[in-house]
Amino acid sequence: MTRPTVLLTNPIGREGVEILETMANVVTAPDVKPQTLRDCAREADAILVRANLPEDIFEVATRLRGVVRYAVGLDMIPMQAATAHAIPVANMPGVNAESVAEYVMSALLLMTRRMHLINQTLRSQDWNAARALGETSSELMGRTIGVIGVGNIGSRVGEICHAGFRIKVLGHQRRLDALPAFMRGVDIDTLCREADFIAMCCPLTDATRNLINPDRIALMKRGACLVNVSRGPVWDEMAIAAALGDGRLGGAVCDVYAEQPLRRDHPFLKLDNMVLTAHMGGLTTESMKRLSIGSAQEVVRLLRDEKPVNFVNREVWDKHLERIRGFPVYR
């Protein structure tokens, strides 16, 4: 019996591969260049996405039963084209929420206790200079955090801050009446004015692009600290760099950038009060195992012509079933 083919844009965890191999041939793209992905997609019945798909990939991937994003964000998938071609798309919301929330908390502790600077000073200067920095550190208790984007990640950040550190929690999202009880809903400008810390946890949309700009930075408390686990374009990178450079902002931790990988000449790399990581806030042993298993299970559902659990473009289902009429049946 013919077996379907699943294309992985990048390798995934062993647990997920084992699930896929129970019913499909698994192929990993040799690289993620647009033409390579187009060529590989021609024979694919499903694609598991960890890299940017070319806008026209669905023109050539005529056998597709569906696409599964190996994460939450959909910016790597041309969603309009998928919907136009009646290609079901699924993602994995919440699977790395704990990992990213813990990343945010570690960032807050790093900035308030100044551990990165103390470590550098102890290594490059001496004991007394490092201890002196400790006297300028601060506690989290009693401070105020503003959470922008209160989905799985943002709500977990707020929960840890409230229950674990007795931090006052402000929240901003489209529906302010749908926030957890421990979180006070406010507009974005009020959040910028009142927060000591701002955690950016929102998806990248037209509404959130450049959300933190020079005007909103001007509203913030002097010395405010920011954590960005959203997407690079939700803030104005040059304005953030300038505000950190002149001391208007106290510090920042950033995991995401407008251009990735981060350019070696990016102004962020020159800032001592900014900690940078390589888009790995959601990467832990535990979250990668959950992602691998969960995304593989979604692919299997699509290959069996079953609706995925985390179905993004549900409106395509009926047209999708019409499109695949006559395709091989896999069970």
- Give the tens place of pLDDT for each residue, 90-114: 999 999 999 999 999 999 999 999 9
Name which of 201, 19, 88 is nearest 212 in CA terms: 201
Residue type, 300: V
pLDDT score, position 288: 94
Name which of 272, 270, 240 is nearest 257 in CA terms: 240
Examine the domain organization and report whether 246 and 106 are in the same domain: yes
Examine the domain organization and report whether 42 and 144 are in the same domain: no
- Give the tens place of pLDDT for each residue, 35-91: 999 999 999 999 999 999 999 999 999 999 999 999 888 989 999 999 999 999 999
Domain assignment present for residue 329? The answer is: no
Examine the domain organization and report whether 142 and 248 are in the same domain: yes
Examine the domain organization and report whether 254 and 120 are in the same domain: yes
pLDDT score, position 157: 98
Sign of torsion, CA 88 83 37 258?
A: negative
| C-alpha–C-alpha distance, residues 246 and 34, integer Å | 41
Average pLDDT over residues 284-310: 97
Name which of 280, 279, 245 is nearest 259 in CA terms: 279
Distances (CA, A) of 124 to 188, 247, 275: 41, 23, 18
| Residue 1: pLDDT band with limits 50, 70, 90 | low
pLDDT score, position 213: 98
Domain assignment present for residue 330? The answer is: no
Structural domain for 158, as ranges: 97-276
| End-to-end Cα separation, the chain, in angstroms | 11
Q: What's the token pair of residue 232? A: 């690079």
Tokens 């550098």 identify what position? 120
**DSSP classification of residue 319:** H
pTM equals 0.87
Is it the case that residue 298 has pLDDT exceeding 80? Answer: yes
| C-alpha–C-alpha distance, residues 292 and 309, integer Å | 15
- Give the tens place of pLDDT for each residue, 212-253: 999 999 999 999 999 999 999 999 999 999 999 999 999 999
Domain assignment present for residue 47? The answer is: yes
| C-alpha–C-alpha distance, residues 145 and 136, integer Å | 20
How distant is the alpha carbon of residue 140 from its chain centre? 25
Count of domains in the chain?
2
Examine the domain organization and report whether 87 and 113 are in the same domain: no
Tokens 């695949």 identify what position? 324
Q: What is the mean pLDDT of the chain?
A: 96
pLDDT score, position 72: 87
The answer to whether the beta carbons of residues 100 and 78 sit under 8 Å apart is: no
Examine the domain organization and report whether 78 and 210 are in the same domain: no
| C-alpha–C-alpha distance, residues 73 and 92, integer Å | 9
| C-alpha–C-alpha distance, residues 97 and 147, integer Å | 14
Examine the domain organization and report whether 157 and 270 are in the same domain: yes
Examine the domain organization and report whether 130 and 256 are in the same domain: yes
